[in-house]
Amino acid sequence: MAPKNLAEVPAEEVAAFVKSFDNILFDCDGVLLLGEDIIPGVKDSVNSMKEMGKEIKLITNNSFRTTREWNEIFEDVELEFTSHDVIFPTKAVIHYLQAKKFNKKAFVLGQPAMVEELKEYGIGVYDYKDCPKLKHVSDLEDYIGDDLSIGAVIVDLDFNLTYPKLMKAATILKRPDVHFIFCATDKTAPFGENYKIIGSYFIGETLEMITGRKPVILGKPSVTYNNFVKKNYKKIDPARTLFVGDSLMTDMLFATKCNYQKLLVLTGTTSYETMMSCSKEVSPKYYLRSLGDLHKLLN
């Protein structure tokens, strides 16, 4: 059945839908936020849900903020959340490595916030120095070698990724005891009106192909990531939980795999046309043009 616009169904249907869940899991980018800005109306919608007694948590693939920076953005946009309310991949990575009693260094293909957060929680991080411009194949050798102090390769979106750094990751992963962790597997992310960010999917996929290794995935749509979510938010009953996201292959697929109810919003990566032609596996029952419209349906 084609997704229905929640704003166009009868009031009784909206009421029945809202009654069908106690917990809401929101994705952040493209749902609550666009860059550093809150999407219009979202604050009212979130507050309406809280007033109705819904328990709200945030599940993102965005590791571009540290715990401190998550607290700052919530304060800036006046959303009543703290870093305790948000699960982001770096948190899951820290938990994963601590559980493995990891005592080597991590080689991080990720943004500075991820590196900072890992260090903050006592995970050693290999200090990769950018190399000069290389002219010949023979110049590569000094920059791509293994280092036995490294025990994990962590892959996320890395705006400063270089060819030698990628090659070094592949070299390190030849050792089978090295943890291979892949965070955000998104193919794209929204970025202003004129661009789409090329997602870290292509970085992790390249390493998988070259090394033949299978990573542990600690980001949506992985069920392993959901196990970490469940550890943190014990009250969640999937049948009584709504997942709200903007991406079909990240959010809606995650919700399907974890048996959450689904609501898609069109303020992020998915267009109306793409949603209407998507597979049954990721198709939501309801969608909204924007989460900012939700509070208007409740009054």
Name the site residues for Mg ion (rule: CB under 5 A). 27, 29-30, 246, 268
Query: What span, in angstroms and rounded, lies between the C-alpha atoms of 161 and 159?
Result: 6
**The tokens of 68 are what?**
């401190």
91 with 211: CB under 8 angstroms? no
- SS3 string, 147-203, reads CCCEEEEEECCCCCCCHHHHHHHHHHCCCCCCEEEECCCCCEEEECCCEEEECCHHH
Shortest CB 247 distance to Mg ion, Å: 5
Query: What span, in angstroms and rounded, lies between the C-alpha atoms of 145 and 296?
Result: 58
In degrees and rounded to multiples of 5, residue 217 shows phi and psi of -100, 120
Shortest CB 268 distance to Mg ion, Å: 5
171 with 145: CB under 8 angstroms? yes
Helix (H, G, I), strand (E, B) or coil at 91: helix
Residues contacting 47, CB < 8 A, separation 6+: 80, 295
Shortest CB 30 distance to Mg ion, Å: 4
In the complex with Mg ion, the residue whose CB is nearer, 23 or 267, is 267
In the complex with Mg ion, the residue whose CB is nearer, 62 or 261, is 62
In the complex with Mg ion, the residue whose CB is nearer, 3 or 268, is 268
In the complex with Mg ion, the residue whose CB is nearer, 30 or 215, is 30
Shortest CB 61 distance to Mg ion, Å: 7
Shortest CB 9 distance to Mg ion, Å: 24
In the complex with Mg ion, the residue whose CB is nearer, 3 or 30, is 30
Shortest CB 29 distance to Mg ion, Å: 4
State the residue number with the nearest CB to Mg ion. 30
Query: What span, in angstroms and rounded, lies between the C-alpha atoms of 46 and 269?
Result: 21
In the complex with Mg ion, the residue whose CB is nearer, 35 or 132, is 35
